[in-house]
């Protein structure tokens, strides 16, 4: 008899065993458990046809149609299972833990596989991870104006053994109007949450977790509400760099892109920049005067960032000045600074 387990147990087992998602490709693309393989029992059109038949003629005809469709796919399903679960052991789920997963589990077990089902399916997994984001963690938020090298500092902290979750890497977006440049297509918000949970679940709650300061939205994806609320309450360390260093960094990072792409990004924030500043930026861009473009856009982003800081709870913001953008030196300086603050010591 097929074993069914709850979401917590299922995800714990998923660290060693392959997860097989039997939902349609469309469902899988919308959101799936991090690292899962998709072996759809029905494609998008087949699933739609079965759903229509269920509504129009009832359950039994829909089941019959489903069985007819699956009957033509046995060899394909076997090939997929051999590829994704070569050890003959798998974790398997559908949307609600119903007929799709149970029927495919029966089929694979007949072929000698050891199959464990997710009780309640993907729907129960989504409920589970939303609750998990409410669990307390010792968070430190690294903030600072645009161009202060926060991402590089976080990367070095991770290399030295600190717990770091890179939200911008998970969102494939750097968080500004220019943040999509050089990035892959963003995931859906649902998939972003799933990938974020995969990192969150691996954190040791007894140790500090570092995050970069973000709004509740990175590009087009939203942070889970309880996760964002925890970020808002956590200590925020603002790193500050001289503006000339920040301008140099922005030129190095963005001047390599096609000017048409940069122009589109500038036009996306023209309502905030204002007509005059936008014209100055576009004229400077046309002349390859990237320093002027960077200076004007930094003025806008600095003002916006300053407004966001005023919304934070009092006593949660710490400021730290750097004279260099060397990530190694700044990471060391940052950790030394925190030792003097003793924020999480009781």
For the chain, report the end-to-end CA distance as a whole number of angstroms: 51
Q: Decide if 141 contacts 234 (C-beta within 8 A).
A: yes
Question: DSSP class of residue 236?
Answer: E
**281 carries an active-site annotation:** no
Beta strand 236-240 pairing with 138-144: parallel
Catalytic entry in 94, 114, 256, 281:
94
Instruction: Give the span between the Cα atoms of 70 and 66, in whole angstroms.
Output: 6
Q: Decide if 234 contacts 214 (C-beta within 8 A).
A: no
- CA angle 94–96–99, rounded 5-degree value: 65
Instruction: Give the span between the Cα atoms of 49 and 111, in whole angstroms.
Output: 29
Q: Decide if 217 contacts 308 (C-beta within 8 A).
A: no
Instruction: Give the span between the Cα atoms of 275 and 286, in whole angstroms.
Output: 17
Instruction: Give the span between the Cα atoms of 45 and 49, in whole angstroms.
Output: 6
Helix, strand, or coil (residue 271): helix
Instruction: Give the span between the Cα atoms of 134 and 55, in whole angstroms.
Output: 38
- The first and second tokens of residue 138, run together, are 């010792």
Which are the catalytic amino acids? Answer: 94
């Amino acid at each position: 008899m097929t074993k069914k387990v709850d979401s917590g147990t299922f995800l714990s087992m998923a660290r060693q065993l392959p997860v097989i998602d039997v939902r349609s490709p469309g469902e899988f693309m919308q959101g799936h458990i991090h690292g899962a393989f998709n072996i759809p029992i029905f494609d998008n059109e087949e699933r739609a046809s079965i759903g229509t038949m269920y509504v129009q003629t009832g359950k039994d005809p829909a089941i019959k149609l489903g069985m007819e469709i699956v009957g033509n796919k046995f060899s394909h399903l076997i090939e997929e299972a051999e590829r994704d679960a070569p050890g003959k052991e798998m974790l398997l789920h559908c949307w609600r833990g119903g007929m799709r997963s149970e029927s495919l589990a029966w089929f694979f077990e007949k072929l000698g596989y050891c199959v464990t089902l997710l009780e309640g399916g993907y729907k129960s997994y989504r409920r589970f991870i939303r609750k998990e984001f409410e669990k307390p963690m010792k968070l430190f938020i690294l903030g600072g104006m645009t161009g202060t090298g926060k991402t590089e500092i976080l990367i070095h902290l991770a290399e030295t053994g600190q717990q770091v979750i890179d939200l911008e890497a998970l969102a494939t977006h750097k968080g500004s109007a220019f943040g999509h440049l050089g990035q892959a297509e963003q995931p859906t918000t649902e998939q972003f949450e799933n990938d974020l949970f995969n990192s969150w679940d691996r954190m040791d709650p007894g140790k500090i977790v570092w995050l970069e300061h973000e709004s509740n939205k990175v590009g087009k994806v939203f942070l889970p509400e309880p996760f964002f609320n925890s970020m808002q309450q956590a200590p925020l360390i603002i790193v500050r760099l001289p503006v000339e260093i920040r301008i140099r960094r922005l030129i190095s990072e963005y001047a390599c892109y096609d000017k048409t792409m940069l122009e589109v990004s500038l036009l996306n924030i023209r309502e905030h920049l204002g007509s005059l500043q936008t014209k100055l930026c576009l004229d400077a861009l046309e002349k390859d005067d990237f320093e002027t473009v960077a200076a004007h856009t930094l003025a806008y982003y600095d003002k916006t960032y300053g407004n966001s800081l005023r919304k934070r709870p009092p006593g949660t913001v710490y400021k730290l000045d750097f004279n260099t953008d060397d990530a190694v030196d700044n990471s060391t300086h940052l950790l030394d600074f925190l030792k003097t603050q003793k924020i999480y010591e009781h």
